[in-house]
Amino acid sequence: MGGGVDDLLSNLAFNDGASDDVEIKLLYQKLLQGLNQNEQRLLNGLYIEGKTISQIANDLNVSRKTLYQWRLKLQQKIKPIWGNTSVR
């Protein structure tokens, strides 16, 4: 997957510089509200914890294929939310 939502979400990684950014924290909370538990786990694993799909699949005891399907649904849900924010 190249660009798009993945590039935008990579900005959510809470490192030293971003952890104090209130706008990013608010955006993240807004994103979580529209996601089911599995999508939240995937989002946290990929973009907050920096895990790979394989690591998350192992942690959640699901196939990588399942996680790729969850990620597609996640991206579809995030696009409208991300488009309505000023954080980019």
Q: pTM above 0.85?
A: no
28-48 residue pLDDT tens: 788 888 888 998 999 889 888
State whether the Cα torsion 87-73-7-13 is positive or negative: positive
| Nearest alpha-carbon partner for 19 in 51, 48, 44 | 48
pLDDT tens digit at each of 88 positions of the chain: 445 556 556 655 555 554 557 777 777 788 888 888 998 999 889 888 999 999 999 999 999 999 999 999 888 888 776 665 544 3
Per-residue model confidence (pLDDT) at position 25: 78
